[in-house]
Amino acid sequence: MNLRTNPRGRLAAALLAALAAVTACTSSGGDGPGPRPSDPPAETARPGVLRILAGSELQDLAPVLEDARKATGVTVQFSWTGTLDGADAVSSGRADGKYDAVWFPSNQYLRLDPAGKSKVLSETPVMVSPVAIGVRSSVLGDLGWGDGSKVTWAQVGDAAAAGKLTYGMADPSRSNSGFSTLVAVASAFSKADGALAEADVQKATPQLKQFFTGQKLTSGSSGWLAQAYSRAESGLVGALVNYESVLLSMNRTLSPQQQLTVVRPVDGVVSADYPLSLLSAAAPDQRDAFQRLTSYLLKDEVQKRISETTLRRPATVGVAPAAGLPTDRRRELPFPGTRAVADGLLASYQNDLRRPSRTVYVLDTSGSMEGNRIAALKSALGRLTGADDTRGVRRFRNREEVTLVSFASSVKWSKTHVVPATGSQPGPQDELAAINTDVQSLAASGGTAVYGSLEEAYRVIERQQAAANDDRFTSIVLMTDGESNSGPTDSDFKRFHDGLPAWEKSIPVFPIKFGEAAVNQLQGIADVSGGKLFDGSGSLDGAFEEIRGYQ
């Protein structure tokens, strides 16, 4: 069973506070209030403000960017996204006029699409960090890997297949660290000597399946994955696949029992070079601000500070990396040569390579959901049954077990579907259509018994696990637009949860706030279960899709 963590540890909170200080400035550099990182981009460009669509791991650059503002007069206004989702936004034109620049861990996926590539006017790598494997130090000795300096990807895969190594990895359809890991192992296992092709992926598939048997944690972002590891029981995962910088930064706060030895496989890695990239639609004022900011960030003394602050390697030649960072670099493994190969690899991961999912959707169909709200729910869930999903980002995956629980004052009904595996007859589309039929049958009436319905979801999982005795990523999604007013209370649910066996306690609940949902109740459920609260008020479609990265 997989485990997730509660958002925002103390370090993350401190970084967010610092980042708020970076963005809480007027365009003139004064001390007045300004946009926050979570705010939508300004509708129009403003002098001295650079609107950047970026990966959330750049939160750790807050103190550097505050000094950059003082030195250059350029205020950075971030909006967060996953790398692949961000690349889609650029390629489709949705970023035009809303952002002046993008700052993803890598532009390699974006470059595979001619439309996306054409929208980037210039790019400047700012820092470098390879994807690596952080092995729990207590596990390293049992693997016989010495100090980890001579390990290959094949050895990691063999240890995973033999049940000797379990690990966490971010969802490659959402996170660049997960995508880079997927590309790295496919390239290493296939021994591709050029751009990764479909034939290379096919050649590597048997080893890839063995490698992914060891994945026990998944997450929609690298930051969440790191926090999930910190929360996990010592026996659950022995390693974490993430950026070298993230793994080294984690060691600053991990307990001695959780300390990680960072392994960079000797046969190669895929690195993030964090290119700050100017979009062609940027106005002249923003182009000037971009040049001032990039020139500042590449200064030797700034590069040194970036490395010391973030534990990433300098991009400027001749600047020494921070103490503790190895001075040598591994060779870069080949990347897919086309967008079709990249998307095919991602779809194969979701539908064939990774451990399958068991997901229970606990859906509020009380009277308050009548009208537009129940229609929005049907639309959002219906999208998860669609076929127009080349990367496997959204739709229910092949081999996934999906249970829909409709509730109001009590559970109205519960229906379970299993999406067939690739190559099965009948294929996935028939079962996806059957799920959609159940979704469209949802009807609003009655009160709201959130906690009692959640307890039933755990009982459903108990029965499914007892019958199948399998090993799946398991999670519960709760969607409600109100406050629980029937059945068990929050205290009753906590007592119920405390009495669950350890494997059930590790099942996260991902509540979705909608309408007038009681945020305190939903946050409490997320905290107790180790899940995360999502906000569907702006886009219920978006909330359901974002959760897919955590399942």
pLDDT tens, 277-303? 999 999 999 999 999 999 999 999 999
Strands 239-243 and 357-364: unpaired
Q: Check residue 390 and give its pLDDT.
A: 61
Share of the chain above pLDDT 90, in %: 78
- Reference 505, options 2, 72, 96, 106; nearest CA is 2
Greater confidence (47 vs 345) lies with 345
CB 38 within 8 A of CB 32: no
DSSP run (H or E) holding 239: strand 239-243
Q: Check residue 389 and give its pLDDT.
A: 67
536 confidence band (pLDDT: 50, 70, 90): very high
How is residue 24 annotated by DSSP? Answer: S
pLDDT tens, 466-498? 999 999 999 999 999 999 999 999 999 999 999
Cα–Cα distance for residue pair 400/237, rounded to 1 Å: 22
CB 384 within 8 A of CB 396: yes
DSSP run (H or E) holding 91: helix 83-92
Residue 19 has pLDDT above 60, yes or no: no
CATH class of segment(s) 356-550: alpha beta
Q: Check residue 328 and give its pLDDT.
A: 87
Residue with tokens 């600053």: 252
| pLDDT, mean of residues 8-35 | 33
- Reference 289, options 110, 31, 50; nearest CA is 50
| pLDDT, mean of residues 346-368 | 96
Cα–Cα distance for residue pair 166/336, rounded to 1 Å: 27
CB 471 within 8 A of CB 528: no
Cα–Cα distance for residue pair 499/258, rounded to 1 Å: 27
Q: Check residue 314 and give its pLDDT.
A: 97
How is residue 269 annotated by DSSP? Answer: B
Cα–Cα distance for residue pair 208/351, rounded to 1 Å: 13
| pLDDT, mean of residues 25-44 | 38
Cα–Cα distance for residue pair 169/160, rounded to 1 Å: 13
The ranges assigned to domains in the chain are 10-128+272-314, 129-271, 356-550
Greater confidence (4 vs 486) lies with 486
Share of the chain above pLDDT 70, in %: 90
How many residues can be counted in the chain?
Answer: 551
392 confidence band (pLDDT: 50, 70, 90): low
10-128+272-314 and 129-271: identical CATH topology: yes
Q: Which CATH superfamily is domain 129-271 in?
A: Periplasmic binding protein-like II (3.40.190.10)
Cα–Cα distance for residue pair 10/252, rounded to 1 Å: 13
| pLDDT, mean of residues 252-264 | 91
CATH topology of domain 10-128+272-314: D-Maltodextrin-Binding Protein; domain 2 (3.40.190)
Cα–Cα distance for residue pair 344/335, rounded to 1 Å: 13
pLDDT tens, 58-107? 999 999 999 999 999 999 999 998 899 899 999 999 999 999 999 999 99
- Reference 171, options 355, 331, 311; nearest CA is 355
